[in-house]
Amino acid sequence: MRTILLSSLLFISGIAEAQLNLPEEPQAIGMIAKSVLGVKNNKVFIYKENATAWQSYFELPFTPDSGTTRVASEKSVSFIVADTVYFTDLSGRKINQLAKNQLLQDFLKSGLQQLSFEDGTMGCFHHERNALSYTFRNGQWANPELQKTGRQRLPDWKSTIDPATVQEFVESLNRIMQHPIDITLNDLGFTEADYRAYKKEIKKQREAQTFFFPFQEKDFDRVLLLIDSIKTMQPEALAKALVADEGIYSTSSTWKSIIITNQAKQKITIQYTNSTGSNSYSPWIIDLNGYSFTTTSMAITGFLNEVYPGFINTSEMKMALMTKLVRSLL
């Protein structure tokens, strides 16, 4: 059996309250009502509330690419074969298809309606979630509303957000989708002051013997020498380091999300999840109408810094990014 935290692993469904023990197979893909759907090959299964086993539900018309099947809505499932995204009803018979490069264009046809920022954490004995939502009305993003479970996690926010900034960011997702792992050192925005601050913190932690950074004691001298080597890292090495698994150091996980909803109630979810506490905000996972991909794009944090300063701690993020890069050089 395994425990599925729906807030972080099945965020497409928008349900953050449930925690279910499920068999290893089939692979859970999301929720409809109070039931979980799962997939194995081209067969979809359902695990109903208070059930003790999966039940056969329906068959997909084609076998999806591994790991691409998602619950797209209360009445549909999406999956990918090659460069095509398919949507079926819950009988598997009614099928629509869309090329990946048309996904964003299709999403934008309905116009934007809601923009949400979510911050949450979940563990064995706690669950907290804050969601701040803006509504697009009369040409303006305004009327922010907070939904809160647990303590206040979100910092102060603006009363309005510039619509042009939001529109430009959403349209940029098509470029990010085509080149999701492209990254250069310039994109990271490190300054000489950032390098000095990182060296200072490394020395401080070593002297205090607190070892907050994920290095062994024998590594610290070498870490100090390698910090300047970040300046010569090539794009391929940067990308490999930034998508690397940070390791699971805790049974708790935290996440931050941007959720963009159009007037047809379709969603783009952009989420960073970790259980290390490092807050490097790389990589993000973007889900667009059932198409999910990983990206190292710094355009996401740039957008957040512009529309919601304080949602992420930029100084903390830079130190966490440097840690990932140095670890790749050890």
The rounded distance, in Å, linking the Cα atoms of 284 and 104 is: 18
The rounded distance, in Å, linking the Cα atoms of 180 and 283 is: 10
Q: If we measure between CA atoms, which residue out of 31, 1, 37, 2 comes closest to residue 18?
A: 31
Query: pLDDT tens for residues 193-240?
Result: 999 999 998 888 777 776 566 777 777 888 899 999 999 999 999 999
Q: How many distinct structural domains can be found in the chain? A: 2
pLDDT at 253: 83
Per the CB < 8 A criterion, the answer to whether 280 and 296 are in contact is no
State whether 36 and 106 are in the same domain: no
DSSP summary character for residue 109: T
pLDDT at 251: 67
State whether 70 and 135 are in the same domain: no
State whether 216 and 250 are in the same domain: yes
Q: If we measure between CA atoms, which residue out of 82, 56, 83, 60 comes closest to residue 71?
A: 60
pLDDT at 215: 72
Q: Which of 13-27, 117-131, 237-251 has the lowest mean pLDDT?
A: 13-27
Is residue 134 very low, low, confident or very high in pLDDT (cuts 50, 70, 90)? very high
- Segments in 63-189 forming alpha helices (H): 103-108, 163-178, 185-188
Q: If we measure between CA atoms, which residue out of 162, 145, 137 comes closest to residue 307?
A: 162
- Domain residues for the domain of 236 are 101-330
pLDDT at 64: 92
State whether 146 and 257 are in the same domain: yes
State whether 27 and 131 are in the same domain: no
State whether 279 and 130 are in the same domain: yes
Is residue 5 very low, low, confident or very high in pLDDT (cuts 50, 70, 90)? very low
> Tokens standing for 244?
């690397």
State whether 110 and 259 are in the same domain: yes
State whether 110 and 81 are in the same domain: no
State whether 158 and 246 are in the same domain: yes
pLDDT at 249: 56
Per the CB < 8 A criterion, the answer to whether 98 and 84 are in contact is yes
Is residue 330 very low, low, confident or very high in pLDDT (cuts 50, 70, 90)? confident
pLDDT at 264: 93
The rounded distance, in Å, linking the Cα atoms of 107 and 85 is: 13
Is residue 9 very low, low, confident or very high in pLDDT (cuts 50, 70, 90)? very low
Is residue 281 very low, low, confident or very high in pLDDT (cuts 50, 70, 90)? very high
State whether 330 and 222 are in the same domain: yes
pLDDT at 44: 95
